[in-house]
Amino acid sequence: MGVLGSPATLIMGVLNVTPDSFSDGGRFEATDAAISHAHRLVAKGADIVDVGGESTRPGAERVAPAEELERVLPVIRALSQEGVVVSVDTMRSTTAQACVAAGASIINDVSGGLADPDMAAVVAAADVDYVAMHWRAHSTTMDSRDRYDDVVREVRDELSARVDALTSAGVRDERIILDPGLGFSKVADSNWPLLANMTEWSGGRRVLIGASRKRFLGAVVTRPGMDAGDPARRDHATTAVTALAAQAGAWAVRVHDARASSDAVRVVSAWQNALDTTR
């Protein structure tokens, strides 16, 4: 189901090598701690480890390019040498280029190439998979850009424009993976139509869903007396999204809790297999 028909949705484990990410900032900032956590993610079912050195939480300021690279490069190099499939979460072409040289096989760009005009050329030359996320603004102002008349149509059209720009720059169409940008310029209700209508905006391309621990899940599951600001309390809701995304054919889900999402994908696969054999 990972590519609307391929065997199963992949698990992309989140590895934030940052001091300020919204869920686990500071926990894996040191290289040794980051590598150890990557090992835990893989042991719990992650197929890909997504390494990021710049927080994109709401309100986050940008980090200097040299600092971002210093955070992620040794981690990516070490994991790649061990045979771990690694993606680099970056908006910068220079960081992407260096990390691909160090062994990263996927570039995960939350700006879809809009933050750095050189990104498309780097992706084309590297010929690696590229996640183009729907994006309207940097973290400091993105919440103010949550203005849609028809969120599914507008995200579809804006992602289609990014695909056109990427392919025009030489990126092979089959390398492009689309991400609707849940939580990015989408504070709460704007996220749900995108999850419920994946085929409407994906154009048949592979889809990455990154809902893990995000605010819009907290808005749904918060109960009286519950700490709505604790991202870890949104893990069960994240697992529910994983199951639904897998059923809908998502290529991968980007999550913090790899084991729960891996289990959810396995259950969906078993269920689907049973349906297929009894039809």
pLDDT tens digits, residue range 91-125? 999 999 999 999 999 999 999 999 999 999 999 99
User: What is the per-residue pLDDT for 1?
Assistant: 40
User: What is the per-residue pLDDT for 140?
Assistant: 83
User: What is the per-residue pLDDT for 224?
Assistant: 77
Q: Per-10-residue mean pLDDT for the chain, 279 residues long?
A: 58 88 58 94 97 84 90 97 97 98 98 97 98 90 90 98 98 98 93 97 97 93 75 92 97 97 96 86
User: What is the per-residue pLDDT for 7?
Assistant: 53
User: Is 254 assigned a catalytic role?
Assistant: yes
Write down the catalytic residue from 162, 206, 215, 254: 254
User: Is 44 assigned a catalytic role?
Assistant: no
Write down the catalytic residue from 156, 175, 186, 214: 214
- Torsional sign, CA 46, 242, 90, 17: negative
User: What is the per-residue pLDDT for 276?
Assistant: 84
Per-residue b/e over 16-53, b at no fewer than 16 CB within 10 Å? Answer: bbbeebbbbbeebbebeebbebbeebbebbbbbbbbbb
